[in-house]
Chains A and B, each alone.
Chain A
Amino acid sequence: MKIALAQISPVLGDLDRNLDLHLETIEKARRAGIDLLIFPELSLTGYRLRDLVSETARDPRSCREFQALRKAGRGMSIVVGFVEESPLKPGLFFNSAAFIRGGTIIHIHRKMFLPNSGMFEELRFFARGRTIRTFETPWGKAGLLICRDFLHLNAHYLVFAGGAGISIAVSAAPGRGVAGEDGFASSRMWEVTGEAVARLTTSFVVYCNRTGFEDGAVFAGGSFIFDPFGNLVARAAYGRPDFLPAEIDPADIRRARRAMTFKRDDRPEVTLANLERIVRLDED
């Protein structure tokens, strides 16, 4: 299976130019024989939208941008980030990502954990997602997370408990700390998390970050793929756009789970019972 991470730098608030960038990248992926092409968080709109959130929101089931993406991406699967406003929830804007397979949207994830401190202010502009569901792909079950979701243990656990063998995360993570040998210090946090989650869930962990600058914030790049044994498969450049193709073998999920039986030995019902108790006690 050939996977590619499109570590792009979207133009803030400009859907037309970003759609063109997506279509060009899809064409490039097609020529490279890519099966699954992943774009970063809010790849169609850019990240620091603030009041542009409502102006750039789209209903993926009817908007022309998704029509173009579905048509262009017929021969492959693609993951795209966008601002979602569904007719069922007018006036609520979600930081969402869609998994499109052969021209059909098969899954939409709404970002569940919205960072809202320091340089982040997502809760001021976005509504929160409530569910983490896994979904069928040609390579088995997969999960989809967005940026800060990736730093919450329970998000990974829900993907794992939901049966995924491939965990995809799209991101617009800024870089912080320039004392290190290579890239930003903050990139270590994502890599260490990715490796640990890959090992502990015996799953592929595929992380696509963006690059570029918005209002001075630098997006760190450094997208990566870990295999279900926790080995680094590939890593993209730090701090500049990149297109990272990589070959992975989905049979590695079975191989890893035969060697390390974390999935077989997992006890979600015990987790649930304990969580219920903890949440109940916390209410006292």
Chain B
Amino acid sequence: MKINPAFVEEILTAFIREELGRAGFHKGILGLSGGLDSAVCATLAVRALGPRNVTALIMPYGKGFGSDLADARRIAKALKLQAETIDISPMVDAYFKKHPTDNPVLKGNKMARERMTILYDWSARIKALVLGTSNKSELLIGYGTIHGDLACAFNPLGDLYKTQVRALAEHLGLPEDIRTKAPSACLWPGQTDEAEIGLSYAELDEILEHLVDGRESEDEVVARGFPRKKAARIARLIRGSEFKRQMPPIAKLSSRTVGHDHLYPYDGNK
């Protein structure tokens, strides 16, 4: 779980510069929620590209939940990047007025996808690539909205567990209240990731590290002293969320098919 944050910063800022440069871009754009992951990603982007080349869209639903809107603005100000606030409530409300629901997950997913469409619209307007902010913990258990917050051009944080993102945040000098506030997907007021997942990130990350990096079986993880129920639940979440991590399958009919045997690198286009 330990990382050398200075080395990670060096690698990730170089990654951001190279991914943009290769695609012929020099600007990056990302959604800034007021939470830890997007704050870390924005900081890395500013260090990689300079504040003039990083745009942060702050996209609350109405006034947002809790302190997030104020926190996002504070981070944007401290980083001196290009920030814009766009209230997504008119678009989201218009839809749910016609197709009402009481299901907060449906509402939350719609909000995440609303933000995605705005990010990609801005991406084309200002010629900036969308930086992803999903961490390894979320990606592995599928704690994200497909085509919503999971959508991006490239993702600097996707191989860092939440615990490691926190260590990187401390190295980057992010304010303590941002680093210690309860992580939330902001799908509804008062929501926290840990309550919804049913595990603390510390515990989740430790079990994930054994299952994924250590390639251990569920039984081996239980033998280490972790509760069977938790290990089994995490293993189930990983298996059940593969669809969020891959391109969808294509029925193969011809002799050469996208994804099957038409195999080009993501980065290899001039």
- State the A residues within 8 Å of B (CB): 9, 11-14, 46, 48-52, 175, 178-183, 212-216, 218, 238-240
Contact = CB atoms under 8 A, between A and B. Distances in A.
A50 B11 contact: no
Interface stretch (B111-119, B186-194, B216-224, B260-268): B260-268
Interface string B246-270: 0000000000000000111111111
A183 B265 CA distance: 26
Contacts of A218: 11, 15
Contacts of A50: 263-265, 268
| 3 nearest A-B residue pairs (beta carbon) | A13-B268, A179-B2, A50-B263
A46 to B, nearest CB: 7
B131 to A, nearest CB: 13
Contacts of B14: 213, 239-240
Contacts of B262: 51
Contacts, number: 66
Contact of A214 (B10, B154, B265, B270): B265
Contacts of B2: 179
Contacts of A52: 264-265, 268
29 contacts: A11-B22, A12-B265, A12-B268, A13-B265, A13-B268, A13-B270, A14-B270, A46-B268, A49-B268, A52-B264, A52-B265, A178-B4, A178-B8, A179-B2, A180-B4, A182-B4, A182-B7, A212-B18, A213-B15, A213-B18, A213-B19, A214-B267, A214-B268, A215-B265, A215-B266, A215-B267, A239-B7, A239-B10, A240-B10
A214 B18 CA distance: 9
Nearest to A9: B18
Interface in B1-58: 2-4, 7-8, 10-11, 14-15, 18-19, 22
Nearest to B270: A14
Contacts of A238: 7
A51 B11 CA distance: 27
Given A183-B7, A214-B267, 17 more contacts: A12-B265, A46-B268, A48-B267, A49-B265, A50-B268, A51-B263, A52-B265, A52-B268, A178-B8, A180-B4, A180-B7, A213-B19, A215-B265, A215-B267, A216-B15, A216-B266, A238-B7
B88 to A, nearest CB: 30
A177 B8 CA distance: 10
A50 to B, nearest CB: 4
Contacts of B3: 178-179
Scoring B19, B264, B265 by chain A CB atoms within 10 A of each residue's CB, the highest score goes to B265
A125 to B, nearest CB: 8
